[in-house]
Amino acid sequence: MNSFWQEKTAMIAHLNEVDQVIGKQLTVKQRKMNEILQDLASSGGKRIRPGLCIIGAGFGSKPIESIYPLAAVLEMLHLATLVHDDIIDDATHRRGALTTQQKYGKDYAVYTGDYIFTKCFEILAENYELHHMKELSKAVSRVCVGEIEQFDGRFKSHTSVKKYLKIVGAKTSALLATSLAVGAYEAGCDERFCKKLGKIGLHVGNAFQIIDDILDYTGDEARVGKTLGNDLKQGYYTLPLIYALRKNDSVLNRLLAADVYDDETIKRIIVRVNELGGVRQAQLLAEKYTIKSLKEISSLPTCQSRDDLEWITKRLLVREH
């Protein structure tokens, strides 16, 4: 876990326990698989999904300790999707280190991602009721559909903001919303309250992904921990570029028409998107979703979890990685 939660001592303690669960669950007898799994377990990350699960549980009455396996599953599901994403995108770096497919090969990476998925549902079956199996299965299904829609839309300059948000809602926001809601449900909160948290989670997730996409145009590779411009190379037109394309700029259109996006072309596209205000417009939409989230959060019961949810909502908007 990186420094994301450094202001939240209690949360760090909870997430350290969740990491212990992940490390234990990803320990196997097969030597090569164990090496890869332990590499993933210790790869860091912000732990946003388990953090949201714990925040959700804080609104209920059960001990937070009972949520640890569920929180671990949420992070493990996220890990599995990242492993598969990196295969599809042929990504070389993630979180400042070599990706699983780059370090061990694509075959090992596929098997590893598949194993983690199956392990997640094994943990759920052993510890929780069927409700969580259904909700997480729906979330993972939405992630897959979102990824397919995004892949199907590669190199299409007519992608709309509405279509982009639909994809973001499926591939990112759904799992964040589910993390918050299932934590609350498991801790004894009623269904109506859990749905309200899920709505907040969707807004938070939209803002989170927009900022992630902005960092591809403004970030520093050393801080972000992955190769910048990779979305562009793969033909994924994210929000800053979608907004910039509305200007019908001849320079940008010519750059995007290139047969191959080499490093120099990527740099020029990034510069032009910034000049055309695409990044600023995307930032404004992220701020809009953050304001929506904060408005909903203000109506929640006063407690530490409400404070933590407000904190993370603001924290995700202003970050460098």
Q: Which amino acid is at 53?
A: C
Give the number of domains in the chain: 1
- 8 Å CB contact between 114 and 81: no
Among 257, 248, 300, smallest CA distance to 276 is for: 248
User: pTM value?
Assistant: 0.91
Please, which residues have CB within 8 angstroms of residue 103's CB and are 6 or more apart in sequence? Answer: 39
pLDDT band at residue 77 using 50, 70 and 90 as cut-offs: very high
Q: What domain range is 301 assigned to?
A: 3-317
Task: Give the model confidence (pLDDT) of 85-103 as tens digits.
Answer: 899 888 888 877 899 999 9
In sequence order, which ranges of the chain are alpha helices (DSSP H)? 9-25, 31-41, 48-57, 68-89, 100-104, 106-127, 130-152, 161-168, 174-186, 191-218, 221-224, 230-233, 239-245, 250-256, 263-275, 278-297, 304-317
Cα-based distances in Å from 280 to 107, 216, 218, 244, 274: 40, 13, 11, 10, 8
Residue 94 phi/psi, 5-degree rounding, is: -150, 130
Under a CB-based contact definition with an 8 Å cutoff, are residues 157 and 59 in contact?
A: no
pLDDT above 70 coverage of the chain, percent: 96
CATH number for position 225: 1.10.600.10
List, for residues 105-132, the tens digit of each pLDDT value. Answer: 999 999 999 999 999 989 988 887 777 7
